[in-house]
A and B are shown apart, each in its own frame.
Chain A
Amino acid sequence: MPEDSDWEAYKVPPTRTPVSERTTWVPNPVTFFQTVFNYVVDAPVTFVREWIERQQSKNKFYYYHQKFRRVPDLSECLEGDYLCFFEAEAQWRRDRMVDQEIVEIVRERLGACKQREGPNQFQNCAKEVELLAQVTKAYQDRYGDLGVHGNARTCLMKQKHRMMEERKAQANASQ
């Protein structure tokens, strides 16, 4: 699964540990363990990792995310034009995958927010909760009950039914 590229959403506020002044002459054992860890584990591992990265930086190469051209939608295809149907179907499947990933990312952000805030989550994560509710509702409206055999055509029919319901509701409301 691709990682979320917006790290700003996950930023943890700086810790507010107070600086305490020493009241005993007994040295802090934590610094001893920190130096031991530093020499025994941290330094060799960092050295090996940096050596590996030096080897790898001699020949760098890149990979890209593929950008697909937009093709005419299923609603713009003529009847009997099976090639147009095929391309519209492929585009619809790609869009559905993108939407699934969007929902997943928003869910992960909410989880990160809860983890970060701890007991304050109910107040401080309200925006993320609202965003997740909206995104999930939108996904459910568009792709919701199509089932495992759902394709672009069934989705279009569902959209048509939604528009009909909307029009009926408007007509009822204006009466």
Chain B
Amino acid sequence: MEEERHTEAKIGAETGRGSSPRGPGCSLRHFACEQNLLSRPDGSASFLQGDTSVLAGVYGPAEVKVSKEIFNKATLEVILRPKIGLPGVAEKSRERLIRNTCEAVVLGTLHPRTSITVVLQVVSDAGSLLACCLNAACMALVDAGVPMRALFCGVTCALDSDGTLVLDPTSKREKEARAVLTFALDNVERKLLMSSTKGLFSDAELQQCLAAAQAASQHVFRFYRESLQRRYSKS
């Protein structure tokens, strides 16, 4: 378990910036978020978790190609670009996961026949990449003002060979772990929106990880709330 650290949040002039003051008993790495940092996209956010950093940009609701339009909802598209190399099959699989998670929370029926595009660029990867992508995507959607029924966050758990649970693992721990589970949870009822797992684990361990993830998601959602409050408060 890492020690508690209380960091002062810094407020940027035009960009919304926030740094997480970690509460007691929270074993997540230090996280920070910066919003509205890109000028072209309708919304953008950069999410940092320890050394993992993902930059997200949201365009939408915008014009959609007739072949892709859905008559009663918005068409959601997610593009994930890895740090090095061309996007491959693994990226396609992750894009599908993130897209389906966003589709579950975004109120697409308010913007029929439009497209909402989320573009994610991996800036640095030091473990828990998928969770960081989910968090960045959520913050960018909020920055773009896309109507959503709930916010969501990503939490990663790693299970060691002796059964110890580590939240928000680094890449080294992920490699050594027996199983790595990533969950996406919503903030209304902490229900499981998305799950992606690697490795072997038992049913009981799954429930244990899910409970730990639900507890950790509280910290992430509190951080979201505080960082947005600071951004919009006049002080």
To the question of whether A and B form a pair in one complex, the answer is no
